[in-house]
Amino acid sequence: MSGSRPLAPPTGQAPPASATLHGRRVALAPLAEAIADRYFEEFPDDLERYAPAARDWEVHDTAWCLHWAVLDVEGFASLAREIGWLTDVLGSRGFPLDHLARNLEVAGDVVAELVSGAGDVAERLHAAAAQVRAAASSA
């Protein structure tokens, strides 16, 4: 991306701070932060490549993915549809879709580890990762 302008921080609607899963409030920001930590351990070059807003975007988009996954479990949204949209947007911007897929896998792992009774959310996130990988391989 040399010669391109730096990535600006996210604007527009902020992701929800929490979601209700099985009648319990789940804070999304701490989960998104934990996922970002693990993501950048695996992809440290993304911090430089997408500076200065790499972490801001990682946390922002991940919080939305978590929210959509909870809404999917609760029957209020389609994670597959939302991830299809995100895949198209990020793919059109040249973002490596294997990184998106891995982020969703990490998200599923973190949710399974840190949120009691959220195995269904973790499963949805892992399925979304497989969806992204399939889309990337057919592109």
3-state SS of 64-112 is HHHHHHHHHHHCCCCHHHHHHHHHHHHHHCCCCHHHHHHHHHHHHHHHH
What pLDDT, on a 0 to 100 scale, did the predictor assign at position 36?
A: 98
Residue closest to 83 by CA, chosen among 66, 58, 59, 95 = 66
Average pLDDT per block of 10 residues along the chain, 139 residues long = 68 95 98 98 96 96 98 98 97 96 98 98 98 93
What pLDDT, on a 0 to 100 scale, did the predictor assign at position 125?
A: 98
Residue boundaries of the structural domains of the chain? 26-138
The 8-class DSSP code of residue 17 comes to S
Question: Average pLDDT, whole number, for the chain?
Answer: 95
Checking DSSP bridges between strand 24-27 and strand 18-21, what pairing results, if any? antiparallel
Per CATH, domain 26-138 is 1.10.490: yes
